[in-house]
Chains A and B, each alone.
Chain A
Amino acid sequence: MVGRAESVNPKPGIGAAVFVVALISACLGSVFWYAKAGSGLSAYDWAAVRFTLLQAVLSAVFSVALAIPVARALARRQFFGRQAIIVVLGAPFILPVIVAVLGLLQVFGRAGWVSVALGWIGLPPFQIYGLHGVVLAHVFFNLPLATRLILQGWQDIPAERFRLAAQLGAGPVAMWRLLEKPMLMRLVPGVLAVVFAICLTSFAVALTLGGGPKATTIELAIYQAFRFDFDLSRAATLSVVQIVLTGTAALIAFNVSHSDGWGGGLDRPVQRWDTQSFGARGLDAAIITAAGLFLLLPMAAIVLSGLPKVFFLPGVVYSSAFTSILVSLGSTCVLLLLAIPIALAAVTRRYSWIEMVGLLGLATSPLVIGTGLFLLINPILDPSLLALPVTALVNAILALPFALRILVPSAREVVVRFGRLGLALNMQGWQFLRRVVLPRMRPQIGFAAGLTAALSMGDLGVIVLFADPERATLPLQIFRLMGSFQMQAAAGAALLLLVLSLAVFWLLDRGWRRYAKD
Chain B
Amino acid sequence: MKYLTLAAGVFCATAAIAETPELTVYTYDSFVSDWGPGPAVKAAFEETCGCTLKFVGAGDGAALLARVKLEGARTKADVVLGLDTGLMAAAEETGLFAEHSVTADYDLPINWTDPVFVPFDWGYFAFVHNADQKGPSNFKELADSDLKIIIQDPRSSTPGLGLLLWVKAAYGDQAPAIWEGLSDNIVTVTKGWSEAYGLFLEGEADMVLSYTTSPAYHLIAEEDATKTTAAFDEGHYMQIEVAGKIAGTEQPELADAFLEFIVTDAFQSIIPTTNWMYPAVIPAEGLPKGFETLSQPVKALLVPANKAGETRDKALAEWLDALSQ
Is there an interface contact between B205 and A110, defined as CB atoms closer than 8 Å? yes
Q: Does A465 contact B (CB under 8 A)?
A: yes
Mask for B27-49, Cβ within 8 A of A = 1, else 0?
Answer: 00110111110100000000000
Q: Could you tell me the distance between the alpha carbons of A332 and B120 in the complex, rounded to whole angstroms? A: 44
B75 to chain A, nearest CB (A): 9
Determine, out of A182-190, A207-215, A245-253, the stretch whose residues face the partner at the interface.
A207-215
- Least CB distance, B133 to chain A, in whole angstroms: 14
B30 touching A109, Cβ below 8 Å: no
B100 contacts partner chain A, Cβ-Cβ < 8 Å: no
Chain A residue contacts of B148, Cβ below 8 A: 110
Complex interface: stretch among A287-295, A409-417, A479-487:
A479-487
Report the Cα distance A384→B54, complex, angstroms: 12
Check: A267 CB closer than 8 A to any chain B CB: no
B70 within 8 A of A: yes
Q: In the complex, what residue of chain B is closest to A229 when comparing beta carbons?
A: B313
Interface string of A167-203 (1 = CB under 8 A from B): 0000000000000000000000000000000000001
Contact A467 B217 (CB under 8 A): no
The complex places the Cα of A469 from the Cα of B34 at a distance, in Å, of 9
Q: A431 to nearest B CB, angstroms?
A: 48
B63 to chain A, nearest CB (A): 5
Does B202 reach chain A (CB closer than 8 Å)? Answer: yes
Query: Number of A residues whose C-beta is below 8 Å from B?
Result: 54
- A444-491 residues with Cβ-Cβ distance < 8 A to B are 464-465, 467-469, 479-487, 490
Q: How far is the CA of A477 from the CA of B186 in the complex (A)?
A: 29
State the CA gap A483–B218 with chains docked (Å).
14
Which residue of A has the minimal Cβ distance to B62? A227
Across the interface, do B320 and A44 meet the contact criterion of CB distance under 8 Å? yes
Give Cα distance in the complex from A379 to B90, angstroms.
24
Tell me if B55 counts as interface (CB < 8 A to partner A): yes
Tell whether B17 is near chain A: CB-to-CB under 8 Å.
Answer: no
Q: Is A165 an interface residue (CB 8 A)?
A: no
In the bound complex, residues from chain A placing their C-beta under 8 Å from that of B67 are 465
Could you tell me if A223 and B323 are in contact, using CB atoms closer than 8 angstroms? Answer: no
Chain A interfacial positions (CB closer than 8 Å to B): 34, 44, 47, 98, 101-102, 105-106, 109-111, 129, 203-204, 207-214, 216, 220, 223-224, 226-228, 230, 314, 316, 371, 374-375, 378-379, 382, 384, 464-465, 467-469, 479-487, 490
Residues of B at the A interface (CB closer than 8 Å) are 29-30, 32-36, 38, 55-59, 62-63, 65-67, 69-71, 74, 76, 90, 148, 153-156, 183, 186-195, 197-199, 201-205, 214, 217-218, 221, 276, 316, 319-320, 323-324
Subset of 22 A-B contacts with CB under 8 Å: A109-B202, A109-B204, A110-B205, A111-B204, A204-B195, A212-B186, A212-B324, A220-B155, A220-B191, A228-B154, A230-B66, A378-B70, A467-B29, A480-B33, A481-B35, A482-B194, A482-B195, A482-B197, A483-B29, A484-B33, A484-B35, A487-B197
